[in-house]
Amino acid sequence: MMDRVTGWTVGRCAALALLVTGCGGDDGPAPAPAPAPAAAPGGTPTPAPVSGGGPLPANAVNDSWVQQPPVLSMDAAVYGPQRRTFQAIPTMAVTGNRIWLAYFGYNDLPTGEVTGTYQILVYSDDGGATWSREFYLVPANPATDRVGDARLWAAPDGKLWLFYLQSGNGVTLDTQVGAWVTIISDPETADPQFERGFWFADGIVNSPFLYNGEWIVPVDYFFSPGSPRRIQRAGQHLYRVDWRNRRFSYVSTIPRSARADFNEPALVQLRDGSVMVHNRTQIGNVVRTTTPGTWNWGTAQPFTGFPTASSRSALVRSPSGRLVLVTNKSNTLQRENMTIALSDDDGRTWPVQHTIDVRPGVSYPEIAFAPDGDILVVYDFGRFWGAILLGRYNEESLVRGEPQAAPSVVSVGRGPRA
């Protein structure tokens, strides 16, 4: 039976709806800021209403189909890999010397992105050689709801945030989708504690990025399939994260791109102060940048580094200053040839390219950096009975064109091994 209690930190973050406030600049004048929430015992903010600004209306509350946060389970007999027919869309973060991974799974056929999916989390303290027991975030109402598409983020205070979607109404994507967060307050301990999850916006969260010393989280409330339930609120919105008070403030909306129903943006700040976004489209990646120092977005242009597929990419800046892009390099728009590429001129050229995995069916990479600076790349393969794989790459070795070790398998479902 699913454990609905084990692992929750009682009284630390009860049903918190974060305060969303508008900002000025290119997106219009800011409303008066709402008062800060009072601190609860232990320093956790108490629940506060969501105020107006950007895509959310004044005094917004969670009006999505899913009202309850997922529950934590440790029941491997029910949710373990021997039961899984599907697992996909991994995410990764590093806290101290610990590597955390998350991905979502499903236990039945014929498909895997449906009602009842749940989130799996594991960690490694030895660089990925071995992995911990699995933790499961399961929808409170699995008959109608699903949890998926997570993004891990290591906050500056050492806590680990897990962003994820919840979709309800008994369908895969309910035309609104809620963006939720569960915070792991002590991610480097032997018994990590999961706080109660909370909703904060519409849509699906993408990887946070650093802009002028502040963290920005993209939330994609996309226009497909069907019409958005709250069409006036749809779009690719950017929110500034106040991680101390667990609040978000609206920053900007990325304009829509042609043939881009699922945008899944990957963003990075460039050296000139502009922001560059790679968006997924039906014809490969498109790139758009802001005017330096503003949130004025330029026209989307096709990515010219090499041909890409219709799938999600990962884009970050390495400690060396180079840009690191991981995506499907493909002349046929297929999810194949998972490739890591490096740029030392802020994305104008990508002279270093190394194909990690040539197989069809590789997709959805994410990037993190090991404590020694090595580039870590996680991605999925096959999805149906497929695998979650992790590669480790020394940046200078890639620049020299030296051979690279094959990725290791983190998890495989009950089907054939990768």
Tell me the helices (H) and strands (E) count for the chain, helix number first: 2, 27
Dump pLDDT digits (tens) for 197-254.
999 999 999 999 999 999 999 999 988 767 899 998 999 999 999 999 999 989 999 9
Report pLDDT for 392: 98
CB 64 within 8 A of CB 178: yes
CB 274 within 8 A of CB 289: yes
The CA angle 9-10-13, to the nearest 5 degrees, is 80
CB 176 within 8 A of CB 168: no
Q: Which residues of 3-41 are buried (b: 16+ CB within 10 A; e: fewer)?
A: eeeebbbeebbeebbbbbbbbeeebeeeeeebeebeeee
Dump pLDDT digits (tens) for 14-37.
333 333 333 333 333 232 333 333
Count, residues in the chain: 418
Report pLDDT for 223: 84
CB 302 within 8 A of CB 284: yes
- Mean pLDDT lowest among 7-16, 57-66, 177-186: 7-16
227 C-beta neighbours (distance < 10 Å), count: 10
CB 23 within 8 A of CB 30: yes
Q: How many angstroms separate the Cα of 156 from the Cα of each of 13, 213, 214, 345?
A: 19, 11, 10, 28
Q: Would you say residue 43 has pLDDT above 50?
A: no
Dump pLDDT digits (tens) for 48-57.
333 445 788 7
> What are the residue boundaries of the structural domains of the chain, listed by start?
51-205, 305-418
Q: How many angstroms separate the Cα of 369 from the Cα of each of 69, 393, 404?
A: 30, 10, 16
How many whole angstroms from its chain centre is CA 135? 18
Cα 138 from Cα 176, distance rounded (Å): 20
Q: Which CATH number fits domain 51-205: 3.40.50.1970, 2.120.10.10, 3.40.190.10, 3.40.50.300?
A: 2.120.10.10
Cα atoms found within 13 Å of the Cα of residue 377, Cβ hemisphere only: 35
Query: DSSP readout, 144-157?
Result: T-EEEEEEEEE-TT
Q: Would you say residue 7 has pLDDT above 60?
A: no
Q: Which residues contact 286 (CB under 8 A, 6 or more apart)?
A: 257, 260, 278, 279, 300, 301, 302, 303
SS (H, E, C) 215-251: EEEEEEECCCCCCCCCHHHCEEEEEEEECCCCEEEEE
